[in-house]
Amino acid sequence: MNVEIISVGTELLLGDILNTNAQYISKELAAIGINVYRQMTLGDNIDRLVRSFEMAFERADVVLTTGGLGPTGDDITKEAAAKYFGQDMVLDQESWTVIEDMCARYNGGKDRIPKNNIKQAMFPKNADIIPNPNGTAPGAVFKKDGKRIIVMPGPPREMKAMFKNSVLPLLMDENSDIFRSKYIRFFGIGESGLEMKLMDILNSQTNPTVALYAKEGEVLVRVTARAKDEQECMHLIDAKIEEIKAVSGKYIYLIGDDSISESQSEMEKVVAGLLHEKNKTIAVAESCTGGLVASYLVSNPGISDCFMEACVTYTNNAKMRRLGVKEETLEEFGAVSHQTAVEMAMGIASTSNADIGLSTTGIAGPDGGSDEKPVGLVYIGLYYNGKVTSIKKVFTGDRRKIRERAARTALNQVRCLLVEE
């Protein structure tokens, strides 16, 4: 089945409203194996919308629309669908009763309902009307000669409920197979680098399918299988994940369901979980990241069991006074160095009596860099069990991106340590 999505609303074209509806629908349809052939965004113009239906049905079996179901003159989606199919609009009394009751409660009586609200209860006689539990604009399935236009309201809260409760089950009933997905999060490798490692898998994929998505400093991979039952789906997915692990396993830090797919990163949650699981404590000394590492950690409920303390030692004097970094170290090697990162990690672990000491020191920019120490250079120190190490990274991007990537790379160092523990 091929589907096209048409988002209706001049406010979308003007950039006044972000079109999250198309993203949501596409993702939900992909999860059940329905191909979204194209997305379009149109203003409130009935003739253009009718022409868009004509173009869409050259490729699609079903057209899904969002927006344009309100009571005002510029809400024209139903009218355009009816015009395309050559159908007349009539009042659906059952829909009007529901709308009338809702409007009466909102406006303080039926006598105060604006007359144009009745427009929302107008449909062709053969339309299948879809109730809207969260608003006054019902959806509908317009149909003729095997073609279907399914219209839904524009407000995301209304659209999502209607899609999930009515439209998605309708489309799934026409598909005997089921679809399931798992997601894999990668850290320490870019999208293009991961694609090269997975090239053989990507070029030979049939079922399951494998898709890559770039996140902020990470890559997300979705593995989706189609089968007759849940068990077969998961068997296919797990086998494909093992293939992916074989060529890129060292970069994987989390495998899970849809719940791990939305955020830019799940690193802080994973590290917090490992600290709890391993019963380890941590303290953090930050310079260039300015408290971001600590902020990421404390975003997790219950982290107080593991997180001892943090400090931002931005100046050399603060590094010496708070962490015991030697003056001669700073004079000989500078604040941004392996030696300083090591002494910072040792100092915070010692003064807080934490199992793990973590430090960051670097040049976030946009100024302050040199040929020897460019903007983006960061050293990350890690102390654990009497041993201390540091890694050197050079990040690209603006000041915000450098700091964020440095902070999450620091947390990844802790993750790697705890996984091996």
Q: What is the pLDDT of residues 252-279, one digit of tens each?
A: 999 999 889 888 999 999 999 999 999 9
Task: Tell me, yes or no, whether 91 and 189 share the same domain.
Answer: no
Task: Tell me, yes or no, whether 273 and 415 share the same domain.
Answer: yes
What residues contact 199, with CB distance under 8 A and at least 6 apart?
A: none
What is the average pLDDT score of the chain?
95
- For residue 206, CA distances in Å to 65, 202, 237, 397 come to 30, 9, 12, 37
Q: Is the per-residue pLDDT at 64 higher than 90?
A: yes
Confidence category of residue 67, pLDDT binned at 50, 70, 90: very high
What are φ and ψ of residue 138, in 5° steps? -65, 155
Looking at residue 195, which CATH number applies to its domain? 3.30.70.2860
pLDDT computed for residue 55 by the predictor? 96
Mean pLDDT of 48-74: 96
Tokens describing residue 388: 């201390």
pLDDT computed for residue 267 by the predictor? 98
| pTM for this prediction | 0.77
Q: What is the pLDDT of residues 83-98, one digit of tens each?
A: 999 999 999 999 999 9
Give the bridge partners for 379, in sequence order.
361, 392
pLDDT computed for residue 223 by the predictor? 94
Task: Tell me, yes or no, whether 239 and 154 share the same domain.
Answer: no
What's the rounded Cα separation, in Å, for the pair 413 and 75? Answer: 54
Q: Are 286 and 360 in contact (CB under 8 A)?
A: yes
Mean pLDDT of 55-80: 96
What's the rounded Cα separation, in Å, for the pair 244 and 194? Answer: 10
Q: Is the per-residue pLDDT at 31 higher than 90?
A: no
pLDDT computed for residue 362 by the predictor? 98
Task: Tell me, yes or no, whether 9 and 51 share the same domain.
Answer: yes
The total domain count for the chain is 3
Between 186 and 178, residue with greater pLDDT: 186
Q: What is the pLDDT of residues 12-25, one digit of tens each?
A: 999 999 999 999 99
pLDDT computed for residue 35 by the predictor? 84
Q: Is the per-residue pLDDT at 319 higher than 90?
A: yes
What's the rounded Cα separation, in Å, for the pair 11 and 18? Answer: 9
Task: Tell me, yes or no, whether 226 and 326 share the same domain.
Answer: no
Distance between first and last Cα of the chain: 49
pLDDT computed for residue 177 by the predictor? 79
Q: Are 21 and 154 in contact (CB under 8 A)?
A: yes
Q: What is the pLDDT of residues 207-254, one digit of tens each?
A: 999 999 999 899 999 999 989 889 999 999 999 999 999 999 999 999
What are φ and ψ of residue 166, in 5° steps? -125, -50
Tokens describing residue 300: 């997790």
Task: Tell me, yes or no, whether 272 and 365 share the same domain.
Answer: yes
Task: Tell me, yes or no, whether 94 and 202 share the same domain.
Answer: no
Q: What is the pLDDT of residues 149-163, one digit of tens each?
A: 999 999 999 999 999
Looking at residue 31, which CATH number applies to its domain? 3.40.980.10
Smallest CA-to-CA distance from 344 within 368, 365, 325 is with 325
DSSP 8-state secondary structure symbol assigned to residue 258: G
- Which residue range(s) make up the domain with 367? 267-420
Single-letter residue type at 256: G
Q: What is the pLDDT of residues 284-317, one digit of tens each?
A: 999 999 999 999 999 999 999 999 999 999 999 9
What's the rounded Cα separation, in Å, for the pair 408 and 414? Answer: 10
pLDDT computed for residue 208 by the predictor? 93
Q: Is the per-residue pLDDT at 174 higher than 80?
A: no
Task: Tell me, yes or no, whether 54 and 143 share the same domain.
Answer: yes
Examine the fold and report which residue of 260, 280, 305 is the final residue of a domain before the chain moves on. Answer: 260
HSE toward the beta carbon, residue 13, CA cutoff 13 A: 12
Give the bridge partners for 151, in sequence order.
65, 140
Mean pLDDT of 179-201: 95
Examine the fold and report which residue of 229, 260, 291 is the final residue of a domain before the chain moves on. Answer: 260
Looking at residue 386, which CATH number applies to its domain? 3.90.950.20
Q: Is the per-residue pLDDT at 175 higher than 80?
A: no
What's the rounded Cα separation, in Å, for the pair 266 and 256? Answer: 11
Q: What is the pLDDT of residues 326-375, one digit of tens each?
A: 999 999 999 999 999 999 999 999 999 999 999 999 999 999 999 999 99
Task: Tell me, yes or no, whether 397 and 412 share the same domain.
Answer: yes
What percentage of residues in the chain have a pLDDT greater than 70?
A: 100
- For residue 189, CA distances in Å to 185, 219, 224, 250 come to 11, 8, 22, 10
Task: Tell me, yes or no, whether 22 and 153 share the same domain.
Answer: yes
Q: What is the pLDDT of residues 137-153, one digit of tens each?
A: 999 999 999 999 999 99
Examine the fold and report which residue of 157, 173, 189 is the final residue of a domain before the chain moves on. Answer: 173
Mean pLDDT of 172-193: 89
Task: Tell me, yes or no, whether 101 and 57 share the same domain.
Answer: yes
